[in-house]
Amino acid sequence: MALGAAAAVALSLGGCAVTTGNPASDGDTEREKKDEYRVAYIARAQADSFAAWLANEMKAAAEDYDDITLEVFDGQADDEVENRMIENAIANKFDAIIVQPNNGDAQSPYIQQAIDAGIVTITTNPRVEGLNGGDSVDANPYDQGAVVAQLALEQVPENAKVVVLTGPAGNFHSTARRDAWQKEFFDQRPDVTIVAEDTANWNKDEALTLMEDWSLANSEIDAIISMNDNMAAGALEALKGKSNFEGILAYGVDGTPEATLLIQEGLLTASTLQNARELAELNIKSVHELLTGEKDEINVDIGNPLITSDNVQEYIDLYLEAGLL
């Protein structure tokens, strides 16, 4: 499929150049009013199709605010790289930092440093729990997983054999989505057997490799259960040309451009939309309200509509309008 989402939303993310700016000092409740606010957005990874889409939408959303200058940095799906970028953003005195964590546990101490430095700090996709202060703009990952799992209750055949693909260890979205599948599906369907489960770190290529191995070891697999669309797409790629897996069910989350095309083709069964445009617009709106003092605290979620073959054209049209397909 030539229209892979990563290609459709490819972008060039900046590095950590030394810049200047002034955050609010420690303990200040009122922030200095400025004509221009410098905001650092630290993206998880350009190679992750959803993260790349979100970074593009962040840049577009920031253009609607004359007093915000957004700089985007690529965390490269590497905790050390992302942590160093947070430290650099603090040292370079950005007015605000928006962090898309690779691993919330690994990034948490560095995000806390930004909060403690008096910098407006938002965690997004996923939010980081347990911080002392800070703000968040996210989706509810349990609900994202639950709406797809509840559909699968009706679709997965009796005594089915399934494989499960998870995101990075310690990632809030991966953990919560997997919890939703456990409670909403597996606990309700003791007849279903998980023949293989592993993390593919949101990565399409890693999922492809795992699925190649699993399909050799298991002649019968009835469904692919993935915590995001990117991994589901990789798993489906691994099964191309293998007639014994024709008609396999496959479930994801994110509703990426590539996922909508896979649903249209009848390859991906369902996903739930995590709208990067809505998420980005809410992030930039929130950071502006916090910087200008309009609000003191923000913790909000976007919605998560289900996408199936019945309504997929609506979302394909959305991506066509956005230039992502």
Separation between Cα atoms, residue 119 and residue 93, nearest integer Å: 8
Q: How high is the pLDDT of residue 304?
A: 92
Q: How high is the pLDDT of residue 7?
A: 37
Q: How high is the pLDDT of residue 172?
A: 87
Q: What is this structure's pTM?
A: 0.76
For residue 1, pLDDT beyond 90: no
Q: Is 225 helix (H, G, I), strand (E, B) or coil?
A: strand
DSSP code of 226?
A: E
Q: Is 4 helix (H, G, I), strand (E, B) or coil?
A: coil
Q: How high is the pLDDT of residue 8?
A: 38
Q: How high is the pLDDT of residue 162?
A: 98
Reported as a pLDDT band with limits 50, 70 and 90, residue 74 is very high
Task: For the chain, give the number of residues.
Answer: 325
Q: What are the backbone dihedrals phi and psi of residue 132, each rounded to the nearest 5 degrees, phi first? A: -95, 90
Residue 122 pairs in a beta bridge with 98, 135
Separation between Cα atoms, residue 11 and residue 319, nearest integer Å: 16
pLDDT in tens, 135-192: 999 999 999 999 999 999 999 999 999 999 999 988 889 999 999 999 999 999 999 9
Separation between Cα atoms, residue 7 and residue 151, nearest integer Å: 30
Q: What are the backbone dihedrals phi and psi of residue 235, each rounded to the nearest 5 degrees, phi first? A: -65, -40
Sort 300 into a burial class: Cβ within 10 Å, 0-12 / 13-18 / 19+: middle
pLDDT in tens, 312-322: 999 999 889 87
For residue 282, pLDDT beyond 60: yes
Q: How high is the pLDDT of residue 134?
A: 94
Structural domain boundaries of the chain? 141-272
Q: How high is the pLDDT of residue 12?
A: 37
Give the domain 141-272 fold: Rossmann fold (3.40.50)
Residue 137 pairs in a beta bridge with 124, 300
C-beta separation of 76 from 68 below 8 A: no
What is the mean predicted confidence (pLDDT) over 246-264?
A: 96
Whole-angstrom Cα Rg for the chain = 20
Reported as a pLDDT band with limits 50, 70 and 90, residue 24 is very low
pLDDT in tens, 85-112: 999 999 999 999 999 999 889 999 999 9
C-beta separation of 153 from 251 below 8 A: no
Q: Is the peptide bond before 126 cis (omega within 30 degrees of 0)?
A: yes
β-strands 306-307, 271-272 pairing: antiparallel
Q: What residues contact 302, with CB distance under 8 A and at least 6 apart?
A: 137, 138, 139, 274, 275, 278, 279, 282
For residue 17, pLDDT beyond 90: no
Look at the block and give the residue holding tokens 């993310």: 13
Q: What percent of the chain has pLDDT over 90?
A: 80
Q: What residues contact 220, with CB distance under 8 A and at least 6 apart?
A: 161, 244
Q: How high is the pLDDT of residue 30?
A: 65
